[in-house]
Chains A and B, each alone.
Chain A
Amino acid sequence: MSQEPYVRTEMLEEQPAPLGQTGISKWMRENLFSSVSNSIISGLAILVVVFMLYEFLPWMLQPSWGAENLRQCYDDPNINGACWGIIRDRFNQLMFGFYPHAEQWRPLLAFALMLVAIAPVLFDKLPRKMMWFSAVYPFLGVWLLWGGSIWGPLMVLAGFVIGYVVNKVLANVAGNLIALIVAVLATLLWWLYGVGYVSEMLTGAMPVGIAEVDSDNFGGLMLSITIGVSGIALSLPLGIILALGRQSDMFIIKVLSVGFIEFIRGVPLITLLFVASVLLGFFLPPDVTFDLILRVIIMVTIFASAYMAEVIRGGLAALPTGQYEAADALGLDYWQSMRLIIMPQALKISIPGIVGTFIGLFKDTTLVSIIGLLDPVGLIVSIQGTADWNGVVWELFTFIALMFWVFTFSMSRYSMYLENKLKTTH
């Protein structure tokens, strides 16, 4: 008979951790009061936060939502701080500027569709087919915002099809380079001379479209987002091209890129905006109306792309030479090696810088108030110009700061998510 050794047949019940090792007290001990100096800093920080809330909250929490004008807030004995009636009264204007009420679903839809369009770019788990929508979105978005006949954007889009077809057909006959050059020329010619004529003809034959909204009606947060998103979307590819150009061995391309980057970086954004608003008017022929918002978008884009180029160049420079050599050794040509090996790594390194530039660009859009565009900050002056709200300041700035914070904070959270996801080191 073998003797059975003592074997425990059931597990001991799990005990709760000792009180000092769980919950808030443990977290606080580890994070806030782990050492004497840490405790002092934590204590001071908590004091500062409490003090600020003590000063700020009573000002913020006021029963002033219903006020019709500033005088009511002054006269009401219950209101001793912020006069939030201004936000209720002008919320629509702060969001959409002077965009017609009946059409305001359009910017909202454009914004929602923008989220859909950038989703496949931001999250790689989504089906790649959604990229087609992202490619079409710029035209859709412009059409939704400015309105007018559908044929204009469609015909501009058709330019790409024309270029593609010309390239395909000619590539078999005349070789790649000539096909590319002819395709680009054909597309440009179509855009310059064909689009206006054909789209007007089509509009005449089959008027499909939505009410046109003039750029003058753009304002508020919608204007900031329009300028910011266009600038962001356009400056990244432009920045990549400039960064590659700066690293290029081809002399002319290198000199042009360096010249562009250094010139644009050497000029303050506000100068470029003044050029857009004031100087271009002198250069253009008198009868050409060249949309102010479009001019601003172009200026903001070239400004941001110069910074973007330097951020990406930093990423390129951080890559070990071995990566370039390995790409060459594999027999990849320049574009293949950039697309498959260099850029994915360089861009990953540059993410914090890129997002930083994006956030900066988005906030810089408020500078347009100086050239008379009524973005949220510009609207402050307009709102103060009315008899009802003359004298309101902090309520508006608080609200606008909050709106901007929501956007910039989401951008920075996304960048953190992306960095974590792409982290390959251990």
Chain B
Amino acid sequence: MKKSVLLGTIAAVGVMAGVASAGTLDDVKANGVLKCGVSTGLAGFAAPDANGRWEGFDVAVCRAVAAAVLGDGDAVQFVPLTTKVRFTALNSGEIDMLSRVTTWTFSRDVDLGLTFAGVNYYDGQGFMVRKDLGVASATELDGATICITTGTTTELNLADYFRANGMSYEPVPIETNAEAQQQYLAGACDVFTTDASALAATRATFESPDEHMVLPEIISKEPLGPVVREGDEPWGDIVRWTLNALITAEEKGVTMGNVAEMGAAAGPDPEINRLLGTEGGLGAMLGLEANWAANAIAVGGNYGELFEANVGEATPIGLSRGLNALWTQGGLIYTPPFR
């Protein structure tokens, strides 16, 4: 069908009649593929490998949702988006969900017509400087030139922080993280600021990481999470509870390795049974198969497994769980019960 539209338009750009849109869930099921907006490339969170297969922590969320809805973690069409076009792409219906290190803020949630379906990574904005600059704290950065990526909350946080502390700075606005990294290395700015996770990832790639340090101050709260369009609650529920399922799975010890076995028959723990669909019929309430969560977990494992595989300490990015540990282990990752 898409094909004939393409050729038809080459022939003549005509007026095309549209059919009234059904819910996103029906669209996704009808297309057989989930259109998921991701970053064009951010270490650990989203990037295509040499074979064009997308990998990363944000990508894993897309795959989990696709598996929950369509039963196949590869039934995803990844739409690489820059910060400038990400929200309009979502609002105009070009993508079904956005999983692109997007900070949950009041104005985005309320004013932009977005619904945040949860938080998959608690981040915060930090600063990186050269050690030979002799700076030990962000409060000593008065008058510094600072590389920032535009169109993000980073820019606004920075302005707030410097105003609150009565300091001045000279911004060097840059489009992408990779470019900012290069500018920083080339000495175009004294300070590079972005989310602390990205700072750690960036520093790890330097030829000599020891010459650089991340300052202790974290100046903002950056809860990053998947986003859907406002006004389609059933679809928002699916994304939200798929993420919650991944977290509950970690809490309950359901892993990629044992999910098939545990989901085969009801076990002793009733919440695991409800999660994996052997009891309760939660899937039907979402309009999905009974084993939706089992499918989602089977793609890349539970939340903890995804974290370790993509950004965890064993990866070159080397992030510790920190705030992103389960609430039972002193972190913020918490989910309402499956009941």
Binding site for B on A (CB under 8 A): 70-71, 74, 89-90, 92-93, 97-98, 142, 146, 148-149, 152-153, 156, 159, 188, 191-192, 195-196, 199-200, 212, 214, 216-217, 274, 277-279, 281-282, 284-291, 294, 298, 369-374, 378, 380-387, 390-391, 393
Residues of B within 8 A of A378 (CB): 40, 80
Residues of B within 8 A of A71 (CB): 316
Cβ of A74 and Cβ of B7 under 8 Å apart? Answer: no
Cβ of A390 and Cβ of B18 under 8 Å apart? Answer: no
Q: Which of A274, A383, A390 contacts B201 (CB 8 A)?
A: A390
B139 in the interface (beta carbon within 8 A):
no
Q: Which of B11, B92, B205 contacts A70 (CB 8 A)?
A: B205
B46 in the interface (beta carbon within 8 A):
yes
Q: Closest residue to A278 on the B side, CB-wise?
A: B88
Cβ of A156 and Cβ of B7 under 8 Å apart? Answer: yes
Cβ of B6 and Cβ of A195 under 8 Å apart? Answer: no
* Extra 7 A-B pairs, beta carbons < 8 Å, given A188-B14, A369-B40, A384-B178: A153-B7, A192-B11, A196-B8, A378-B80, A385-B47, A387-B43, A391-B207
CA distance A378 to B85 in the complex (A): 14
Q: Which of B159-209 contact A (CB under 8 A)?
A: 175-176, 178, 181-182, 201-202, 204-207
| Interface residues on chain B, size class | 35 or more
Cβ of A387 and Cβ of B316 under 8 Å apart? Answer: yes
**Given known contacts A191-B12, A387-B43, A381 and B176 CB-to-CB distance under 8 angstroms:** yes
CA distance A76 to B42 in the complex (A): 26
Q: Closest residue to A270 on the B side, CB-wise?
A: B84
Residues of A within 8 A of B8 (CB): 156, 191-192, 195-196
Cβ of B52 and Cβ of A93 under 8 Å apart? Answer: yes
B81 in the interface (beta carbon within 8 A):
yes
Cβ of A391 and Cβ of B205 under 8 Å apart? Answer: yes
Q: Which of A93, A191, A289 contacts B11 (CB 8 A)?
A: A191
Closest chain-A Cβ to B321's Cβ sits at a distance in Å of: 18
CA distance A177 to B107 in the complex (A): 59
Pick 22 A–B contacts, CB within 8 A, sort by A. A142-B10, A146-B3, A156-B10, A195-B7, A196-B8, A199-B7, A216-B78, A278-B85, A281-B88, A288-B16, A291-B5, A371-B85, A372-B80, A372-B81, A372-B89, A374-B40, A382-B47, A382-B80, A384-B178, A385-B42, A385-B45, A390-B205
Cβ of B18 and Cβ of A287 under 8 Å apart? Answer: yes
Q: Which of B44-63 contact A (CB under 8 A)?
A: 44-50, 52, 55-56
**Given known contacts A278-B85, A385-B47, A387-B317, A146 and B16 CB-to-CB distance under 8 angstroms:** no
Residues of B within 8 A of A369 (CB): 40
Cβ of A294 and Cβ of B6 under 8 Å apart? Answer: yes
CA distance A323 to B278 in the complex (A): 87
**Given known contacts A156-B11, A216-B79, A385-B39, A287 and B19 CB-to-CB distance under 8 angstroms:** yes
Closest chain-A Cβ to B184's Cβ sits at a distance in Å of: 11
Residues of B within 8 A of A212 (CB): 3
Cβ of B3 and Cβ of A278 under 8 Å apart? Answer: no
B217 in the interface (beta carbon within 8 A):
no
CA distance A290 to B14 in the complex (A): 11
Cβ of B43 and Cβ of A390 under 8 Å apart? Answer: yes
CA distance A369 to B2 in the complex (A): 24
